[in-house]
Amino acid sequence: MSPDVPFPDEVGRHGGNELAAEGNDGAEIFSNKGSVREIAAIEKPEENNSGIDLEKQGHNGFPLKAPIQASLEKEPEELEEVSEPPDPNIVDWDGPDDPMNPMNWPAGRRWGMIAVVSAITFLTPLGSSMFAPGVPLVMKDFHSTNEDLAGFVVSVYVLGFAFGPLVIAPLSEMWGRNPLYHSCNCLFIIFNVACALSSNLNMLIGFRFLSGCAGSAPITLGGGTIADVISREQRGTAMSVWIMGPTVGPVVGPIAGGFLSQAVGWRWTFWVLAITSGVMTLLGFLLLRETSAVALLSRKTAQLRASTGNPHLRSALDASADLSPRDLFLRSIVRPTKMLIRSPIVFLISLYVAVVYAYLYLLFTTFTPVYQERYGFTLGTAGLAYLGIGVGACLAQVVNTRFGNESFRKHVQRGDWKPEHRLKLMVPGAMLLPVGLFWYGWSAQARTQWVVPIIGTGFFGFGLMLSFMPAVTYLVDVFTIYAASAMAANTVLRSVAAAVLPLAGQRMYATLGLGWGNSLLAFIALVLMPTPLIFMRYGEMIRTKYPVKL
């Protein structure tokens, strides 16, 4: 991989994080750069390219105070006239080198935290599909022949990924990230143990859903943690490593799960997940530290109030001080839904990602029966069929990191960078998706040599990653202040699609067969293929013409 692309000099040594919010949780996560006062003083409404109307709002969705609103309405040369002297009651970082600021922590500590978060983010999506090869054994043990339930017992876990962030995100805004990491990791262990001990199918489905809700924490919070501790110059590589969890984890799971279920039974897939999660949870307690600037400055403010006796001290990032925890929680919950409904960019990009992500889980439902019934694979070796998607996704990740960074650097040097440039790699990705679907469907239908369908799924995996990663990065770049809410909306929509579509897929394949069934999916992918081209050409106009008022 090529090194991360440096930003221009004006970005600053701490990553120039002009984003007030960045990450993957539904709450607005402020940067570690400075205070709301600093941000408001340098941004004017006409400079906002996110498609969000900031004219009457603060940088986390709350009304601006009058002096800040006035400064936003002035030209740069008038800003000094309306600026106020620094408020001595505002608690902020002690300068750019404040050791309390996570951006200034030692590199070993910061990258160690990223390694732990990335490992947990890999582990929880792994649980979504590791259980899939053992489903026939489950149905046999519980004396059920219902194919819909057989699919739902796998996909209900992903449904938890859709509901979990709606609770985890607002709680993280009030309490910080670390309490949510630790509590959800512990709950994930408990619910997987409950799955292993389930005595009937309904019990297993219920605890699978709860496992998905708890397992969504690293997916919800991981992007924000990276934004907290990694500068913009290095963030590209960190994001690339972290995003491998939601894409490669579901591919690796069935490979291990197939052999495990065959050797010792389906219950041991949950015991292995619980044991591995226990190890990562212990590492989390040892290595993870609170990184949220909002939470850290709130703690600092509380300590100073106690030591000085001054009750008027307040955090520089506490723009929601006038709201009760209940109001803050409710506002954070509804914000992603508003963005999904009111923003054409969020809705259309999220719809495209949701379709692609749902295809991944739909294909998962076919691999085990196809390779067992058509090619005579055992339960264990059938899991190897997932390698095609995994290898394709890993190769695409290398391509995305290298060429994405090169493109970014080129446009920054020219001075013409805009978020739509992120979408260039989506074009070949969108082209390869239908190729992979046609290839896999018809080669499996014709019972060609077993490696031929796997090669087809490799093309699909390559297109999947090239479609997924640029789209996610684009939403973060476009919705600077509200990137977290945009990402939450994207996560909810794709998780619901990934949970529901495989349920209809079983009957589709039974009616149309593998060839025409996958061709139908490919035709839909062909219809959606112009999506990145449309946003590359008209995205900036759409952002300007359809601002989101929250």
Q: Is residue 78 part of a domain?
A: no
- What is the Cα–Cα distance from 447 to 434, expressed in whole angstroms? 20
Which range of residues forms the domain containing residue 244?
Answer: 102-291+329-545
Q: Amino acid letter at 395?
A: L
Question: Higher model confidence: residue 111 or residue 8?
Answer: 111
- What is the Cα–Cα distance from 254 to 16, expressed in whole angstroms? 41
Residue 204, pLDDT above cutoff 90: yes
Residue 5, pLDDT above cutoff 50: no
* Largest separation between any pair of C-alpha atoms in the chain: 79
Q: Is residue 272 part of a domain?
A: yes
CB atoms under 10 Å from CB of 215, counted, come to 31
Q: Is residue 22 part of a domain?
A: no
CATH number at 461 reads 1.20.1250.20
Whole-model pTM? 0.73
- What is the Cα–Cα distance from 494 to 265, expressed in whole angstroms? 31
pLDDT at position 480 is 56
- What is the Cα–Cα distance from 235 to 268, expressed in whole angstroms? 37
Q: Is residue 49 part of a domain?
A: no
Question: Higher model confidence: residue 136 or residue 549?
Answer: 136
Q: Is residue 314 part of a domain?
A: no
Helix (H, G, I), strand (E, B) or coil at 63: strand
Here the tokens at position 235 are 């963030």
Q: Judge whether 475 and 346 are in contact, CB under 8 Å.
A: yes
Q: Is residue 408 part of a domain?
A: yes
Angle at 256 between CA 384 and CA 205, to 5 degrees: 110
Number of domains in the chain: 1
- What is the Cα–Cα distance from 399 to 2, expressed in whole angstroms? 10
Write out pLDDT tens, residues 80-89: 444 556 677 7
Write out pLDDT tens, residues 437-481: 999 999 999 999 999 999 999 999 999 988 888 887 788 777 755
Here the tokens at position 33 are 């750069």
Helix (H, G, I), strand (E, B) or coil at 304: helix
Q: Is residue 77 part of a domain?
A: no
Helix (H, G, I), strand (E, B) or coil at 315: strand
Q: Is residue 223 part of a domain?
A: yes
Write out pLDDT tens, residues 38-81: 333 333 344 444 454 444 343 333 333 333 333 333 434 444 44
